[in-house]
């Protein structure tokens, strides 16, 4: 047993991490280029600002280790969908929303498979061993066949990505993007919602909602302004059951740029 342990230590010490793709930006770049070329050959029909165009934009305009995410697989063998949403406005302007992930400088390059899915939501406990991913919602404008980045909003999560969708707030019809993440630690999910308060071209307003076994926050209208509010539910954890019996509302303060508890103004939240 001692000799086996000694042997494994020797093998580990001789590993040249600079030769691994995760530690070699040039190798990663070549692999991404190769995969894009394969997609071009397999594509039956191209259109301006399509998925391949977005991949090429990320490749040449973002740091090494930047990737377009995909939806979590709903079935074992289905083809995952790229995390893209296309939208046109009444003036004929065309937009593309994309959920991307970048690698932390100085660490190993991330892998999208370590960010997507239920089990990957545990990465928040220790993300450094697999590289630290920074996830963003990006809005591009499609001018002809060229992409132009309008804004880039950080998503405050490191893993567990599920899907992205375009929705409208029932209160006043304000559009927003919902990014859905699994939260395995609480057996639930977290949604990071980006509201277009003034205009889709302006930086969005972030509101987080979630639901799990003993936590819940829902989107509501409290004070009838243009900003969304929410209810935070209070849960009771007993030996034989967990239940919610009460809730408290939080409203957005433009002055403080914080969400404030309507019953206790000292309690605030950023989003």
Name every residue whose Cβ is closer than 8 Å to that of residue 68 and which is 6 or more positions away in sequence: 51, 54, 55, 58, 82, 83, 84, 98, 99, 100
pLDDT tens readout for residues 215-261? 999 999 999 999 999 999 999 888 888 888 899 999 999 999 999 99
* Backbone Cα Rg of the chain: 22
Global pTM value: 0.89
What does the alpha-carbon distance between residue 122 and residue 61 come to, in Å, rounded to a whole number?
Answer: 30
What does the alpha-carbon distance between residue 88 and residue 92 come to, in Å, rounded to a whole number?
Answer: 6
Query: First-to-last CA distance in the chain?
Result: 54
Confidence at residue 13, expressed as pLDDT on a 0 to 100 scale: 42
Q: What mean pLDDT, rounded, does the chain reach?
A: 89
pLDDT band at 162, cuts 50/70/90?
A: very high
pLDDT tens readout for residues 101-111? 999 988 889 99
């Amino acid at each position: 047993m001692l000799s086996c342990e000694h042997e494994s230590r020797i093998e580990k010490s001789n590993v040249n991490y600079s030769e691994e793709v995760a530690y070699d930006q040039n190798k990663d770049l070549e692999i991404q280029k190769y995969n894009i070329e394969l997609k071009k050959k397999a594509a039956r029909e191209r259109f301006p600002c399509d998925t391949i165009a977005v991949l090429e934009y990320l490749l040449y305009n973002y740091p090494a280790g930047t990737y377009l995410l995909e939806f979590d697989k709903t079935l074992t063998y289905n083809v995952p969908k790229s995390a893209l949403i296309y939208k046109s406005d009444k003036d004929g302007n065309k937009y593309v929303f994309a959920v991307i992930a970048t690698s932390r400088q100085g660490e190993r390059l991330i892998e999208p498979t370590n960010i997507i899915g239920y089990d990957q939501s545990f990465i928040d406990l220790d993300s450094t061993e697999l590289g630290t991913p920074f996830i963003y919602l990006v809005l591009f404008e499609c001018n002809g066949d060229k992409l132009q980045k309008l804004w880039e909003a950080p998503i405050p999560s490191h893993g567990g990505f599920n899907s992205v969708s375009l929705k409208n707030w029932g209160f006043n019809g304000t559009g927003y993007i919902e990014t859905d993440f699994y939260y395995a630690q609480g057996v639930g999910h977290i949604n990071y919602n980006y509201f277009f308060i003034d205009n889709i071209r302006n930086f969005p307003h972030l509101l987080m909602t979630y639901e799990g076994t003993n936590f819940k926050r829902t989107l509501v209208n409290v004070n009838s302004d243009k900003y969304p509010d929410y209810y935070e539910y209070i849960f009771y954890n007993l030996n034989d059951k967990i239940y919610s019996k009460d809730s408290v509302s939080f409203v957005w303060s433009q002055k403080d740029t914080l969400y404030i508890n309507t019953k206790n103004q000292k309690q605030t939240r950023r989003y």
